[in-house]
Homo-oligomer: A and B are copies of this chain.
Amino acid sequence: MALFPLTITHTDGAARCGVYHTPHGDVDTPAFMPVGTAGTVKGVTPPQLAGSGAQMILANTYHLQLRPTADVVRELGGLHAFMGWSGPILTDSGGYQVFSLAKISKITDEGVEFRSHIDGAAMSLSPASAVSIQNALGADVIMAFDECPPLPSDGETIARAVRRTVRWAAQCKQCHARSEDQALFGIVQGGLDPDLRRRCAEALVDIEFDGYAVGGLSVGETHEEMISVLGPVISVLPSDRPRYLMGVGMPRDLLAAVQAGVDLFDCVLPTRNGRNSQAFSRTGTLNLRNERYRLDSGPLEADCDCETCGRFSRGYIRHLFNAGEMLGPTLTSIHNLRFYQRFMTRMRELIREGRLARIVTEFPIAAGPAQHQQEESP
């Protein structure tokens, strides 16, 4: 019996929509979780975040353990109280960050020794410590500690990472001290090898987790490569457990993954791009530093119902970026966060109506090449 029920209400092909019931509230799926790396979704307050329609958010174990440490977060009441967010939270295990941000000193079957990317301090993470830290942080959903090799890696490196990831996942389940109130998800690794991915998923299903994630993607592979491994994995996952594609992605990636049956996503794009003056719209993206917006009195996106579009012009936001004002990143992040939620909401509606494919006519950006910036016509 999985911790926290997932109710699937409608399907459209492999795509599905429903409700994930957590102790801190219900989450309509497929859901997009904004990323609050260090205990804050950068540049926005929790009310602004809730105003975007976000129901569940992610925080990073690696960053929080570096600063201020999980002990401090626990002393200050746990992650929900700490960051002033009363909705559901998911923490990752730190695996991805250790392998992408930190300088690794040693990887063994016991865990990883590394140096902090902030101050070079010697640290380590193991299945037991990653779970213990997440127990202290107190998110609704926590993740098993995984080995996340870069892509491309040779077959033996990928296969060894899968073996370790499965063994570590079992250890994580074993030492999970809050299995009564924190769901634990296993993470499927296996690079771009569909067979390895499927076998990794099968092994994790045998151990049994409250949900299953697909990790190690969005690390430089193409959209088609990313999507190609989802089918083999999802074919062996139980339909009553949430499926979570980690760190993804552009609207096109989200659509293809939803069509493959994924329920949960997280990505820094809405806020990272917002800080870099890039706004999303249904038809493409806008770079607000562009001279063409100097006298543009229109909103970032016509018909958008966000706080930014209801009050401010492209010309004003361009000025904010040119003048280096904090409000530029904040207002553009607020719009982008709302854009992602509008996109997810519309996908859920179309799944209920059995016509998800129609989304690309309403959101042409979801038909475009992932990672590719399109400047929309003025």
Contact, CB under 8 Å: B77 / A319: no
Which of A98-106, A145-153, A324-332 lines the interface with chain B?
Answer: A324-332
Cα–Cα distance between A171 and B329 once the two chains are bound (Å): 41
Indicate if the CB atoms of A294 and B68 lie closer than 8 Å: yes
Chain B contacts for A47, CB-based, 8 A: 307
Q: Is the CB of A43 within 8 A of B315?
A: no
A47 to B318, CA, bound (A): 20
Q: Which B residues touch A363, using CB under 8 A?
A: none
CB of A312 within 8 A of CB of B84, answer yes
Question: Contacts A315-B76, A320-B40; is A331 near B68 (CB within 8 Å)?
Answer: no
CA distance A68 to B77 in the complex (A): 45
Copies in the complex: 2
- A285-324 with Cβ < 8 A to chain B: 294-295, 297, 307, 311-313, 315-316, 318-320, 322-323
Task: Report how far A39 CA is from B318 CA in the complex, Å.
Answer: 12
B42 touches A316 (CB 8 A): no
Complex CA–CA separation, A326 to B40 (angstroms): 9
Q: Are B82 and A38 in contact (CB under 8 A)?
A: no
A67 at the interface (CB under 8 A from B): yes
Where chain A touches its partner, the secondary structure class is: loop
Is A75 engaged at the interface, CB distance under 8 Å to the other chain?
yes
A72 at interface by CB-CB < 8 Å: yes
Q: How far is the CA of A312 from the CA of B46 in the complex (A)?
A: 10
A83 at the interface (CB under 8 A from B): yes
Per the 8 Å Cβ criterion, residues 27-53 of A in contact with B are: 38-40, 42-47
* Chain B nearest CB, measured from A41 CB (Å): 8
Verify B326–A42 contact, CB threshold 8 A: yes
Cβ–Cβ < 8 Å partners of A318 in chain B: 68
**What is the chain B residue whose CB lies nearest that of A84?**
B311
Range, interface on chain A: 35 or more
Are B323 and A326 interface neighbours, CB within 8 A? no
How many angstroms between the C-alpha atoms of A39 and B319 in the bound complex? 9
Asked if B84 and A319 sit within 8 Å, CB to CB, the answer is no
Q: How far is the CA of A234 from the CA of B316 in the complex (A)?
A: 39
CB neighbours of A327 from chain B (8 A) = 40, 42-45
Contact yes or no, A67 B326, CB < 8 A: no
Give the CA-CA distance A266 to B168 in the complex, in Å.
59
CB within 8 A of A330: which of B72, B316, B330?
B330
Check if A326 sits within 8 Å of B329, measured CB to CB: yes
Chain B residues with CB under 8 Å of A316's CB are: 39, 76, 82-84
Given contacts A39-B319, A45-B307, A323-B38, contact A76 B329 (CB under 8 A): no
Q: A40-B320, A45-B331, A307-B45 are in contact. Are A72 and B325 (CB under 8 A)?
A: no
Q: Return chain B residues, CB-CB under 8 Å to A72.
A: 294-295, 315, 319
Contact partners of A44 in chain B: CB under 8 A: 327
Interface flags, A56-82, vs B, CB<8A=1, else 0: 000000010001100010011100011
The 3 A-B pairs with the shortest beta carbon distances in the complex, nearest first, are A84-B311, A68-B319, A43-B326
For the complex with contacts A42-B327, A76-B297, 13 further pairs of A-B residues with Cβ separation under 8 Å are: A38-B323, A42-B326, A43-B326, A44-B327, A45-B330, A47-B307, A72-B315, A76-B295, A76-B313, A77-B313, A82-B316, A326-B329, A330-B330
